[in-house]
């Protein structure tokens, strides 16, 4: 969705021939002076477009750290459709339980997956549920092993695992107990941004709100996630901003939406 605007918005999104471009309620208009002149248009990124629209209104925009995390998770799950992996209260609870490097042994982890599959909307096959999460790089398989020097346990991914390891706690090098494999425990850990505390700093609720407004409802959207904006002495923050285009009976209308997103919490007066 591209909001209404003229030459300034065209300049902001990097178009050439600024005076020929218009952004109307019904879409992009190019005022061509020639019948056979080629026109090249690169679709601007949603965040850049939204930021430029705000800048034209003299707001200085900066995406916050949670906003950057949200973008990374969105990329990791494969876009808006992949956010469905988070649309289960037990998935959120499991990610919270495994945040900050907390590993679960394979039996305990599999028990959690079975409960998630029982609540799944479209498939109740736990293998498929788990594979979807693995494909999204939400979890990684590894081995938890005890250091013979400091007796502390450390987790190693499949990539890092070898016959000789360096202890994560005391930095001593040791040989794995190859002769007694039962002393090595297969386990899973949350990976990347899914390993962050506080439900990835509140990002899951932002992504699920974005999903709510996304193509399943038939709307076109241009979002920006978790940002702050200043204009003079005035400061505002939003967990999600988006242009939403609603089309009914051939008529389109663009809405501007700002959202405050909470996880298991209530909105307060200062959130408005």
Per-residue pLDDT of 97-114, as tens digits, reads: 999 999 999 999 999 999
Establish if 131 belongs to a structural domain: no
| Contact in structure between 95 and 136 (CB atoms under 8 Å) | no
Is pLDDT of 35 > 80? no
Establish if 155 belongs to a structural domain: yes
Per the listing, tokens 């962050």 go with 196
| Contact in structure between 14 and 44 (CB atoms under 8 Å) | yes
Domain count, the chain: 2
Establish if 153 belongs to a structural domain: yes
Establish if 249 belongs to a structural domain: no
Establish if 33 belongs to a structural domain: yes
Residue closest to 241 by CA, chosen among 32, 27, 10, 52: 52
Per-residue pLDDT of 52-106, as tens digits, reads 889 888 999 999 999 999 999 999 999 998 998 899 999 999 999 999 999 999 9
Higher-scoring residue by pLDDT: 27, 55: 55
Establish if 198 belongs to a structural domain: no
Give the burial class of 20: count Cβ atoms within 10 A of its Cβ; 0-12 exposed, 13-18 middle, 19 or more buried.
middle
| Contact in structure between 92 and 263 (CB atoms under 8 Å) | yes
**Mean confidence (pLDDT) of the chain:** 88
Range of the domain at 164: 144-183
Please state the pTM of the whole predicted model: 0.84
Establish if 9 belongs to a structural domain: yes
Establish if 66 belongs to a structural domain: no
Query: According to the model, what pLDDT value does residue 245 have?
Result: 86
């Amino acid at each position: 969705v591209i909001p209404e605007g003229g030459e300034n918005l065209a300049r902001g999104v990097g178009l050439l021939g600024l005076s020929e471009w218009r952004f109307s309620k019904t879409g992009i208009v190019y005022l061509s002076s020639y019948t056979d002149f080629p026109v090249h248009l690169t679709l601007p990124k949603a965040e850049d477009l939204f930021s430029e629209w705000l800048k034209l209104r003299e707001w200085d925009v900066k995406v916050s750290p949670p906003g950057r995390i949200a973008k990374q998770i969105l990329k990791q799950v494969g876009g808006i459709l992949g956010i469905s992996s988070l649309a289960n209260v037990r998935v959120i609870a499991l990610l919270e339980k495994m945040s900050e490097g907390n590993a679960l042994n394979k039996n305990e982890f599999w028990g959690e997956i079975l409960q998630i599959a029982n609540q799944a909307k479209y498939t109740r096959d736990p293998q498929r549920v788990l594979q979807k999460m693995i494909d999204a790089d939400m979890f990684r398989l590894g081995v938890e092993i005890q250091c013979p020097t400091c007796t502390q346990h450390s987790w190693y991914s499949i990539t890092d695992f070898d016959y000789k390891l360096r202890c994560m706690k005391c930095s001593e090098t040791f040989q794995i107990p190859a002769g007694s494999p039962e002393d090595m425990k297969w386990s899973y850990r949350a990976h990347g941004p899914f390993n962050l505390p506080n439900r990835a700093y509140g990002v899951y609720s932002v992504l699920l709100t974005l999903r709510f407004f996304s193509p399943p409802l038939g709307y076109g959207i241009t979002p920006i996630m978790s940002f702050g904006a200043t204009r003079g002495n005035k400061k505002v923050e939003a967990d999600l901003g988006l242009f939403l285009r609603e089309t009914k009976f051939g008529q389109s209308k663009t809405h501007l939406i700002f959202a405050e997103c909470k996880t298991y919490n209530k909105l307060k007066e200062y959130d408005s």
